[in-house]
Amino acid sequence: MAPATEHQSSFLSRISRRNQVVSMDVNHEQELEELEDFQKHVAEGFNELLPPSDSPESDPILSIQWLRKLLDVFMSCESEFHSVLTANQAQISKPPLDKLVPEMLDRIVKALDICTAVVNGVDSVRQIQRLAEIAVTALKQTPLSDGSVRRAKRALTSLLAAFNADKSSGGSSGGSSGGSGRRTTTTEQWSSFGRRSGGGGGGCVSKNWSAAKQIQAMTANLVVPRGSEASPIYIMSSVMVMVMWTLVVAVPCQTSNGLTVHLPLPKHQVWASAAVSITEKIGEEMKRKEMRSGGLMEEMQRMERIGLKLMEFSEGFRFNGEVEVVAEVAEMEEICRKMEDGLEVLQRRVREVFHRLVKSRSEILEVIGHCNV
């Protein structure tokens, strides 16, 4: 009986080992399938953000509506990422994820600061919008009087000074809503994110905080994991950095001077192809404007261009009706209307991203806790 028992034991152990191998193969295939699905999801999201060359009606890159779509894509990618991560919890404490996870958690903290700065930056854009509205109201008066033009000129002076301040100091912008000509910098306006958003944020950033340095820190160790062409955490980290970089480019943020023009995204990977194209287009715009700071929101660029024309008109105004700026005033009014409708929704989207990142970080820490038990 002993030999038979030994043979049976040996047979059962072989069956057990074979089942373990089969189970490991099945799990690995499932992980690869989930990773491929996640990459497709990311690629499709960013492909939708690339404006078709034959569609002039599409939202321009860095416009308010486009930025809202970008944040929607980010939220969708983050949700998909969470599903992939929770389905493979056992892998989170093993190489290469054991190193990538802490780096991602650190990036999330930096991204929260950037969300805070962007929300405040949108407030500074609103102040610029109010100055433009004052100028529009004054220049729409009929008949146009010297007094109306002077009011418009005061508002335009503050508006253009805000744009120049943004370029020279890397994110300080704004102006007095009454068009008195006194400039108020974003740093002076800095207040608690939670207070501005009705208690929905995570506090304010310090005066020495720099959006550009935050982006640099987020990209410092953003490299493809060794021995792996891609991983969900690396992909999601790259997406997060790209989205935060784009927000800082578009919205005047505290000290965005020195903002990098290029991001370390892998061109050869399918999931990153559209994202790389988008960042390259934005980088070209930064070079064209000779800017390394934020404030390239499409509506802001148009507003500055028209503001210069209206200022030229107001400085040379003579009450003789020879020069008209009806078209420019109408365009400025249209931009103000877009900002009025869009900035609040954009700000709300950024707050939603803030809360999603807070939740995501807590959930990742919870998974780590379970793995370490």
Report the distance separating Cα 258 and Cα 291, nearest Å.
9
Whether the bond into 143 is cis, omega within 30 of 0:
yes
Alpha helices in 170-297 (DSSP H): 186-189, 193-196, 211-219, 232-250, 273-288
Reported as a single tens digit per residue, the pLDDT across 7-64 is 555 645 554 554 444 444 446 677 788 888 999 999 999 999 998 765 667 899 999 9
Cβ(282)–Cβ(246) below 8 Å = yes
Domain ranges of the chain: 61-205+298-371
Query: Whole-model pTM?
Result: 0.83
Please tell me whether residue 228 adopts helix, strand or coil conformation.
coil
Query: Pick from 185, 187, 166, 335: which is nearest to 249 by CA?
Result: 166
Taken in order 134, 139, 144, 148, the sign of the CA dihedral is positive
Between 89 and 228, the higher pLDDT residue: 89
The separation between the first and the last C-alpha atoms of the chain, rounded to the nearest angstrom, is: 43
Reported as a single tens digit per residue, the pLDDT across 246-294 is 999 999 988 877 888 889 898 888 899 999 999 999 999 998 887 656 7
Reported as a single tens digit per residue, the pLDDT across 170-223 is 444 333 333 333 333 333 333 333 333 333 344 677 888 999 999 999 998 888
pLDDT category at 362 given cuts 50, 70, 90 is very high
> Burial, 167: exposed, middle or buried (Cβ in 10 Å; 0-12, 13-18, 19+)?
buried
In whole numbers, what is the pLDDT of the chain averaged over residues? 81
Reported as a single tens digit per residue, the pLDDT across 61-82 is 999 999 999 999 999 999 999 8
Crossing angle for the helix pair 211-219 and 232-250, nearest 10 degrees? 160
pLDDT at 54: 59
